Amino acid sequence: MYWPTVLSVLAAAPLGLGTPVAPRWDDMRVKHTWDTIPDKWECQGHPPAGTTIDLRIALKPHRENALVDALYEVSDPKHPKYGAHLSKEEVAELVAPHPDTLELVSSWLAHHGVLPSSASTTHGGNWLTLTAVTLGQANTLLDASYQLYRHAETNETILRTIGYALPAALLEHVQTVAPTTYFGSPRALRQTSCLRPDGPTLPKGDQDLQGAGSTGVPARCSTTITPTCLRALYNTSTYVPAAAGRNQLGIAGYLNEFASQLDLTQFMSRFRPDAVTASFTVQQVHGGGNDQLKPGLEANLDTQYAESISFPTPNIYYSTGSAPPFKPDSFSPSNMNEPYLDWLNFILGEKTIPQTISTSFGDDEQTVPPDYARTVCDLFGQLGARGVSVLFSSGDSGVGGGSCLTNDDTNQVKFIPMFPASCPLVTAVGGTQGVNPEVAAGLSGGGFSNYFSLQPYQTAAVSSYLYQLGGRYADLFNPRGRAYPDISAQAINFQVVVNGVVQSVDGTSCSSPTAAGVISLLNDFLISRGKSPLGFLNPFLYTTGVGGFNDITSGSNPGCGTSGFTATAGWDPVTGLGTPDFLKLQAIVG
């Protein structure tokens, strides 16, 4: 690994002008720029003099495809290395940059007077962090213009630039720099759950449903969803976890959303009394809080349903902090509002990671700079290579919400995919509703990425759907893009306890922790038999795992002024391969 090298190179490098043979550091090439200020953000001008910023620089790995190649080897059921997941150290070796990259970057930083003491590296030298860089230095390094921007709805203020560039000599060595043009931040992230004030609730619990799973899915589950419904629908009610000491399930939380232990206990007493002793561990990341007096709807939804399906599997809630608002008189603002990077930087540094992780947040893909999206997607791939099943909700706007106008200078109406659901190295979970039969939920996010290509593991399934679709919507989506969702689960009228009150909730935020609970039980089964956990799911799902899902063949996901895609036999961009049947999947993996 190369992490000491960059510091020693920086320490040895002169801080003045480069030698005559050094690259031209003033030969700048645009890395990414927006045509206009991103939607809902307003420029507030330049920050006070003396303001500093922490920069993260993602360096390209020496072997560009080594990580993805290794990921597919350990994730493909037909490959001899299937299940032979990598260690933290082995992954770090795969993503380490070439020594030439480190030397070039060090020379560039030294040329601009960046002190060696400000630099540190992580993940095998793949990420370089520069601490307390002056804005003057940052603007010069990146040919940028950092200014303050305020979000019109949340009033949060962040430090960003509309565009940035790199020296031509570094374009083949640097993947992305953050924070730069990604205007996402924890409070502006779109969570994929929606409270239904007029939705049906069961304030006294579901006594009339408890124990009904053995005789089928209760009819009342067509209007209210509880753990009893889900355990009956997805055939988990008879399985008793046997590897609770070795298997874990994680929930990634943002937006200062806190999960309440008291609400979990009340939820279990009402909806799964045999699990009333359930609890979870809170891991506070990047200043994340744990205010038990301020429970969040999203956090409670995720923990209550992941726990109610996976119990007694240990659950961990990751409370990832957001930086405080920028204060005009502050010279050292906390301006690193990069939600996925903050959490990923933490989790990838851990020696032991939960085998299953669910996240219920996302952004419109087009609002995420392409280089940033690809870099973050690769980091999720690192989790997969280490044997982690990473699940994301697919979004709640069907094929796209709002006007669906592209944010380039063309302003065309297009279907709007969601990220990170569109990342091919995660498993995207869409939404269903109803029982006997289940049908697609109209809110279920689905479609085709404009950043990532169609993946080999899904080519056959997606090609079949596209053939049936014909030329419909031909000008509205990219048929060669990564297609999602991969699977689905219930998403409507979930009963959730918040501050002791039962509330009704919709969204694929319901679907992802539900599916994660089922996957966690499969991992428990495998681990209890001395086998490896499933890890990155998708190559398995689209091949040997297909028979373990209930195909959803009715419903659609309208949006962008259209009726959206239609659920049909086989994979579709509304419900993916369908909803899980634990007993069938258990037989397949066993």
**Active-site residue numbers?**
298, 302, 509
In the structure encoding, which two tokens stand for residue 515, read together?
């599916």
Give the β-pairing of 163-167 and 41-45: unpaired
Dist CA 395 CA 387 (whole Å) = 25
Give percent helix, percent strand, percent coil of the chain, each to the nearest 5.
30, 25, 45
* Sheet hosting strand 127-134, strand order edge to edge: 119-122, 127-134, 52-59, 174-178
CA triple 109-113-118, angle to 5 deg: 70
Inter-CA distances, 23 with 28, 168, 445, Å:
11, 9, 46
Dist CA 207 CA 211 (whole Å) = 9
> What is the three-class DSSP state of 11?
helix
H or E stretch including 373?
helix 370-385
- Closest Cα partner for 547 from 575, 516, 588? 588
Cis peptide before 328 (omega within 30 of 0): no
- How would DSSP label each residue in 336-359? ---HHHHHHHHHHT-SS--SEEEE
**Backbone Cα Rg of the chain:** 24
Burial of residue 261 (number of CB atoms within 10 Å: 0-12, 13-18, 19+): middle
CB under 8 Å to 379, separation ≥6 — which residues?
Answer: 340, 341, 344, 348
- Closest Cα partner for 441 from 474, 395, 407? 395
Q: Do the beta carbons of residue 511 and residue 487 sit within 8 Å?
A: no
CA triple 100-103-107, angle to 5 deg: 140
- Closest Cα partner for 358 from 382, 388, 385? 388
